[in-house]
Structure 1
C-alpha cells in the first residue's frame, strides 16, 4: 500500500513539478491539457456568439436552436375509418424520418380504437402533429416541453472528467509494482469505468429524447364516446363501474368454485361417508357396552316398578303432615 500511496502522490504532483519529472507520472497533465482545450473551445464559441449578440433579435433564435428540448404530445382524434387513419398517421411519421414506437388497436362491433406511439425528429414535431389533427375531428391535444440543456452540459462535463480519471487510473495501473497495488488499482479502474459507462448511457438516453420527439395518438371511431373514461363522473358511471366489478367478482367466484368442485367430489364425498360410518359405529359400540340398568345416550331413565306401584297418587289440595 505504501507504493500505491507513492504512485498517487506522484500522479497528483506531476503537473506542478519541473521538466525533470516524467510526463507519464502525472495524470493531471492530461486534465490540464483538456481544460486548456475546453477554454480554447469556449473562446471560439464566444467569438462565434459575439456577432449574434450584436445582431439583436438573432441572438435569441440562435440560443433557442442550441438548447436541448424534449417535445412530447398526446392527441385524441375522431375519424370515420380508424384503420385508414392509422395508416395515414404512420405514413406521416415515416415521411418525416421517424418510426412507430408502439401500436395497439381494438376493433369491436360498437367502436374501434387505435393507439399509436410515434417517434419523429424534433424539427418535424409540429408539422406531424398538424397532419394527424387533420385526419378527423380533434377532441384533445396536449403538448409538453422539457428543457434539458443544463442537464446535458452537466453530463458532458462529468463525462470528460470521468474519462480523465479513467486514463489516470490506467497509467497508474501500468506502473504498479506489487500484487497488492495491482489489485487495488484494477478495482479502482473498474469502478471508474463503470461510472463512465453509466454517464454515457444517460447521455445517449437524453440525446435520443431530444433528437426524437414522442407523439401518442389515439384514433377513435364515430361510435366511440367523446370523452375519456377517467374524465367521466356521475351516478350512472358509478353504477356501471360497480356492476362491472360485481360481474367480475361473480365470474372469479364461479371460476374458483369450478376449479375446487372436482376435488370436493373426489375427496370430500368419501371422507364424509367415512366420518358418518365411523360415528354410527361408535354410537353402536357405546350402546352395546352400557349396563342393563343404565340408560343409553339419548334414552330417558325409567323409574323402578315397585316405587311406581306402592306410591299412592297425590290428592289435590292435601297438605302433608308435619
Structure 2
C-alpha cells in the first residue's frame, strides 16, 4: 500500500519537478536567468524613455492582462493535467535515446565485431562529440517542427501550441501529447543512434560535455534567456546573429497572427536551418504582434483543457471523413 501511495505522490508532484530539475528547460535556474535579462530590458527601456520607475517593474513583469487572460489560465491548467498524464500514462511509451544507443552499440558489435577504438580521450574530441550531438538534435527538432506546420493532419495537433493568445514560459509546455511523443521519440531514436555510433567507434573518448546535467551547448542556450521566447519581453539579436541563433523576438514572430509571419522561424537553437529553407524572418526593430492562430478559431475556442486535449482528434476525424467523402464522390 505504501508503495502505491508513493507512486501516486510521484505522479502528483511530477509537474512541480520540472521547476526543480536542473536538466529541464523550465528549471528555476533558466527561469532566473530569463528574469534577470527581463529586468535589464525593463531598466534599459525606461532609461531610454527618461522615466525610470522601479515601482512599475513588477506590473511590467507580471502584466494583469496576460495573467488574467483565459489563454494563460488554460496554459497553467493544461500544464498540470498533461504533466500528470505524462508521468502516469504516456511517458513510458517515449523512445529512450539511452536504449537506442545501447542497441546501436550492440548492433555494430554484431556486424563489425568488438569495438577497437584508437582515439584517446581529449577535450577536442569531446567538443566535437558534444557539438555534433546538439547540431543533430537541433536539426531533428527543426525538421519535426517544419513537418508539423506543413502537413495538415499534423498541424491539427500543433495548433494546440499556436492557439495561445498570450504567452508565458509555461506556454512552452502547451503541446499536445501526440506531438510531444512523436518529437521525443524521433529525437530519441536519432540521437541514440548517433551517440551509439560515437560510443562504438571512439570508446572512452565519446564524452559529451555537460552543464546542469545536459549538453553544455544546450545548457548555455537555456541560460541565455531561453524562457523569454514565450513571454511579452522583446529581446532581439543583431540581424547577422539572427541568421545563426534564434532569439526570443524571432520566436515571438513565429507565434504572430500576421500572415507574413506564418511558418517562419521554426528553429529551436540555430537559425541557419530556417535560413537554408527560406523560412527565416529577422526583425530589424520591435514589431507590435498579436498571438494566436490568426483565424476564426481565435477568441475562445482553445481556452479549456478539454479543447486543447480533444479538439485535435476531432479535427483529424473531420479531415479523414472529408477525405473519404471526396474519394466516394469521385
Q: TM-score range by the shorter chain?
A: under 0.3
| TM-score, L = length of structure 1 | 0.23
Q: Which has the higher strand share?
A: 1
Q: Which has the higher helix share?
A: 2
- Flag the structure with larger Rg: 1
